Chain A
């Protein structure tokens, strides 16, 4: 804790423009602001929530590592003042597994988008959940591949328009909490960017959890998803979330499909205990060889 205090003081002694210091200056790289995300994009809110959750959960910033893939949300790794890693497309969970196994003292947070984690990195996602690797996955879901120009993603709802579906999407979308739950994740929650206080509490809870935790953050995409579907800008999407989100804690994850402009069910769905990969590994090793690696 002592090291953390001195670090904060050092950073705060350097004032930003006009002598004003943002309260998240010690966790975010304010020299790189304004960021590249579009006006009314929700990824900034997910980053705000994550930084607040880090402070709330009282986690040492030196003991945490952020891994991001490619895409809009993949840029998060570049904006945090923590150990961060911007990896190849779809592989943040694989890199995070490596970090976790090599140094069990570090808490790994995978911060990436739906196209990166569920489409290209889908196999890594389900296998990390199966093994129960100790990490937090923050999946920012904006229903589309936004950075490449609005193509159909595996989470695009049926009948929604996209650049590659000019007559409406015909593929049924993935239900991210259901995949995570059925593959064996220990903590599964879904919130929108509007429910920012609940999201902060949920992320702080998931950061304390041992095992594979997944928090899905539904985010407005004002430039592609909303524009192509004529839903207005990000503010209109936030108003839509306000009117159409239903909070049901402990809901069966089978019922969490999201249709085009239908009701979205948010809440904490799964919270259970399972031995994590490193615990199983150490237990097995102590049984076979009579020794174990560092506790993780």
Chain B
């Protein structure tokens, strides 16, 4: 994220980091999770699952912020997010800038 000025407590802020789990064989390829992920973490894959649909895969695993929106928007209960143990400090993302 870009800031107009550097927040005074920037070094204290920790951004939570999520890990995405996908049940590939439950997926029916509706692409709701890919469309509505705010950080574009997911992408539809070329491979087929057991039913012949294309499940999503995790393209940018480091960008996930554990917002759980993909979990809530999955009609097949096929995706969920857990909190990773190691949180990254906020200034790492501040340097990267907004996409």
A binding-site residues for B, Cβ under 8 Å? 17, 20, 22-24, 28, 30, 33-35, 37-45, 48-49, 52, 196-197, 200, 222, 233-235, 238-239
Contact = CB atoms under 8 A, between A and B. Distances in A.
B77 A28 contact: yes
B76 A34 contact: yes
A235 B25 CA distance: 20
Contacts of B80: 20, 22-23
A22 to B, nearest CB: 5
B73 A34 contact: no
A235 B35 contact: yes
Nearest to B51: A34
B30 A197 contact: no
Contacts of A23: 71, 80
B55 to A, nearest CB: 12
Contact of A30 (B21, B30, B75, B77): B77
A17 B35 contact: no
B51 to A, nearest CB: 7
Contacts of A239: 35
Contacts of A196: 69, 72-73
B72 A197 contact: yes
Given A235-B32, A235-B35, A41 B26 contact: no
Contacts of B73: 45, 196
8 contacts: A34-B51, A34-B76, A35-B76, A49-B72, A52-B72, A196-B72, A234-B32, A235-B32
B31 A45 contact: no
Given A40-B32, A45-B75, 18 more contacts: A17-B23, A20-B80, A24-B77, A33-B23, A33-B26, A33-B76, A34-B26, A39-B28, A39-B30, A40-B28, A42-B75, A43-B75, A48-B77, A52-B72, A235-B32, A235-B35, A238-B32, A238-B36
Nearest to A48: B72
B30 A48 contact: no
A43 B74 CA distance: 10
B29 A44 contact: no
Contact of B75 (A17, A44, A52, A233): A44
A142 B60 CA distance: 35
